[in-house]
Amino acid sequence: MSDPALNILNDTFGYPSFRGFQQDVIAEVVAGRDALVLMPTGGGKSLCYQIPALIRGGTAVVVSPLIALMEDQINSLRELGIRADCLHSGMSPEDRQQVERELLMGDLDLLYVAPERLLTESMLRLLDQMQVALFAIDEAHCVSQWGHDFRPEYLQLHHLQERFPAVPRIALTATADKRTRQEIRARLGLQSARVFIDSFNRPNIFYRISQKKQGKQQLLKFLEKEHPEDSGIVYCLSRKKVEQTAEWLSQAGRKAIPYHAGLPPEQRKANQHRFIAEEGIIVVATIAFGMGIDKPDVRFVAHLDLPKSIEAYYQETGRGGRDGLPATAWMVYGLQDVVLLRQMQARSIASQQVQQVERQKLEAMLSLCEVTGCRRQVLLNYFDEPLDKPCGYCDLCLEPAEVWDGTEAAQKALSCIYRSGQSFGVAHLVDVLQGKQNDKVRRFGHDRLSTFGIGNELDQNGWRSVFRQLVARGYVNVDVDGHGALKLNDSCRSILKGNERIELRRDRYEPSTKYQKEYKEVGRVVVEEHDQQLWETLRQWRRSHAEEQSVPAYVIMNDKTLMELIKHRPTTHLELSRISGIGQHKLEKYGDDLLAVLGTVDVEIN
């Protein structure tokens, strides 16, 4: 007997086969049992509740924290012929009543609601009167008080279990952390739910981290060389830097818009919409941006500042390449980032215990930056998913890090910190090592130190690199109250005494020319020369339909589907239906049109 879930996947969504655990999760929920689903961003969580919603009787209620994104989710579903709607505070009373009527008539497959609305008395009464197929709790990590996405309203969601014991609940998140996982189970009353943990590997994302020299310039170079026309996200730490960078990119001729929590709500909403709807657009943002954004064609995620943890880095970079096509995760970082984050932590008013956890998370992030082996191995290891071989698809796999015996340099650097009294920052320490006769050096009499001028073997950047690595590896502390003075700690003693040797990596600001060619070919979607014209025609076709219906282009068809059309050049409706992403509804709606655009229509007539 054929599997109804598979039929829906093929016919409605137009996909040939399930990914990872999707089929098992769907079976669990269809059978009326609870589930907790952990999958990386872009892994395909939505299908895990959308397909059961279509199989089980009644309407599935989806709790989603982001009202601004509900419309987009609904548009995508409607384009597949699925009956979906939403209820939120931004709607007019008439629109709300209309949706309520549809619900009572059983005319909706899915209903999206914000958590605060779901638990209002009127909503609960409505739910009592209708048939609820299931509850899906999206972005379930919002229930975690430790995370930066905490939403107090999520804490109320455990009431669902008491009030609707017979309705299955499925919670979904891309946050893998064990602590968060336990919190979700406890707070949502999902102790007996089956837990599905998918692989966190995102094989189509190319990871790349370089040292920061002039961050913005490096970014621009990267964009010009590798993503001249693509959409992407640039993350910065501060609002000011977000605005400056967006402005700067615009002046450099890119379509770039800012996003941070300090912008007026209307502008935030408008910019979010532009990012979702337009092609070739860059959003420069703080971490406030990104949750729930499912734009599939984000081709790069760039970090101009260091994220606070691997979780944050992974979630942010995971927003690239949701369509499965190549995407680049690019980052530059330097000592200044480390100092800044340590200072922020020191100013934190959180409990000792939380600070301790935050420190450990930052250490893990730093070791990802300073590693000499495969980045993906470090990342997946962090999520308890060891990868036994180097991935072959990250910067260090392509171009191994060069290491050198830095013992002597480290000794010089450490003793310079010690002799100058452990109250100076890197810039001054480097001046002393290099024997610079400037005011500050003379004022403190540092030209008389035994470490004055002993460091001519390295240039300024070379010394900065030594200090950074000593800090990143925890041999040296940064004084977080003052101006980033470096201080020794116990662990550096063995180096100073010559009992321990230390290997340092040579910094890299850009890929070497030797590897330029290979770099060029990774993390990029490449359309062959002879297909360029058809690619443009298809995009133009997609754009005109998108504009006509006021939906983002990818809602009509995503890049991956267009690429498949180019590759297979279908000539009949049957062949079209085999293209990934073309289901029944799209086939009926666009089939003839597409065959004409592809210029293959004649073949069919013959």
Which residues are at the interface with ligand ADP (CB under 6 A)?
A: 15, 18-19, 22, 39, 41-47, 294, 296, 322-323, 580
Least distance CB 503 / Zn ion (angstroms): 19
Q: Is position 394 an interface residue for Zn ion (rule: CB under 5 A)? A: yes
The rounded distance, in Å, linking the Cα atoms of 265 and 283 is 16
Question: Which residues on adjacent β-strands are paired with residue 197?
Answer: 38
- 127 vs 374 by CB, closer to Zn ion: 374
Least distance CB 427 / ligand ADP (angstroms): 43
- 140 vs 366 by CB, closer to ligand ADP: 140
- 181 vs 464 by CB, closer to ligand ADP: 181
Binding site partner of 394, from Zn ion, ligand ADP, none, Cβ cut-off 5-8 A by kind: Zn ion
Q: Which of 37, 54, 374, 414 binds Zn ion (CB under 5 A)?
A: 374
- 374 vs 413 by CB, closer to Zn ion: 374
Tokens encoding 35: 């589930």
If we measure between CA atoms, which residue out of 169, 151, 110, 507 comes closest to residue 335? 507
Interacting stretch for Zn ion, rule CB under 5 A, among 64-72, 95-103, 116-124, 390-398? 390-398
Least distance CB 378 / Zn ion (angstroms): 9
The answer to whether 147 and 180 are in contact (CB under 8 A) is yes
Alpha helices (H) in 138-214, listed in sequence order: 159-163, 178-187
Q: Is position 365 an interface residue for Zn ion (rule: CB under 5 A)? A: no
Q: Is position 295 an interface residue for Zn ion (rule: CB under 5 A)? A: no
Task: Quote the radius of gyration of the chain (alpha carbons, Å).
Answer: 27
Least distance CB 376 / Zn ion (angstroms): 5
Q: Please count the CA atoms within 13 angstroms of the CA of 13 that sit on its side-chain side.
A: 18
The answer to whether 320 and 300 are in contact (CB under 8 A) is yes
Q: Is position 304 an interface residue for Zn ion (rule: CB under 5 A)? A: no
- 77 vs 492 by CB, closer to ligand ADP: 77
- 280 vs 390 by CB, closer to Zn ion: 390
Binding site partner of 268, from ligand ADP, Zn ion, none, Cβ cut-off 5-8 A by kind: none
The answer to whether 473 and 511 are in contact (CB under 8 A) is no
Cβ count within 10 A of residue 527: 16
Q: Please count the CA atoms within 13 angstroms of the CA of 503 that sit on its side-chain side.
A: 8
- 282 vs 557 by CB, closer to ligand ADP: 557
Q: Is position 416 an interface residue for Zn ion (rule: CB under 5 A)? A: no
360, amino acid identity: Q
Least distance CB 383 / ligand ADP (angstroms): 15
The rounded distance, in Å, linking the Cα atoms of 259 and 289 is 7
- 44 vs 455 by CB, closer to ligand ADP: 44
- 115 vs 296 by CB, closer to ligand ADP: 296
Least distance CB 40 / ligand ADP (angstroms): 7
Q: Name the percent of the chain in helix, strand, coil, to the closest 5.
A: 50, 15, 35
**Which residues have CB under 8 Å from 39's CB, separation 6+?**
20, 21, 45, 172, 174, 196, 198
Least distance CB 139 / ligand ADP (angstroms): 9
Binding site partner of 175, from ligand ADP, Zn ion, none, Cβ cut-off 5-8 A by kind: none
Tokens encoding 277: 């709807």
Binding site partner of 376, from ligand ADP, Zn ion, none, Cβ cut-off 5-8 A by kind: Zn ion
- 39 vs 409 by CB, closer to ligand ADP: 39
Our measurement of the distance from residue 383's CA atom to the centroid of its chain's CA atoms, rounded to an integer in Å, reads 15
Binding site partner of 245, from ligand ADP, Zn ion, none, Cβ cut-off 5-8 A by kind: none
Cβ count within 10 A of residue 139: 22
- 393 vs 452 by CB, closer to Zn ion: 393
Interacting stretch for Zn ion, rule CB under 5 A, among 19-27, 147-155, 371-379, 542-550? 371-379
The answer to whether 538 and 531 are in contact (CB under 8 A) is no
Using CB positions, name the residue nearest to ligand ADP: 44
Q: Is position 397 an interface residue for Zn ion (rule: CB under 5 A)? A: yes
Residues of 382-412 as b/e, b for ≥16 C-beta within 10 angstroms? bbeeeeeeebebbbbbebeeeeeebeebbbb
Q: Is position 329 an interface residue for Zn ion (rule: CB under 5 A)? A: no
Least distance CB 371 / ligand ADP (angstroms): 27
The answer to whether 98 and 122 are in contact (CB under 8 A) is no
- 95 vs 294 by CB, closer to ligand ADP: 294
Cβ count within 10 A of residue 252: 14
Q: Is position 391 an interface residue for Zn ion (rule: CB under 5 A)? A: yes
Cβ count within 10 A of residue 551: 20
Our measurement of the distance from residue 69's CA atom to the centroid of its chain's CA atoms, rounded to an integer in Å, reads 16
The residue count for binding Zn ion (CB under 5 A) is 6
Which residues between 539 and 558 bind Zn ion (CB under 5 A)? none
Least distance CB 560 / ligand ADP (angstroms): 8
Least distance CB 178 / ligand ADP (angstroms): 20
Sign of the four-CA dihedral 581, 587, 590, 591: positive
The rounded distance, in Å, linking the Cα atoms of 243 and 136 is 36
Cβ count within 10 A of residue 360: 11
Residues that bind Zn ion (CB under 5 A): 374, 376, 390-391, 394, 397
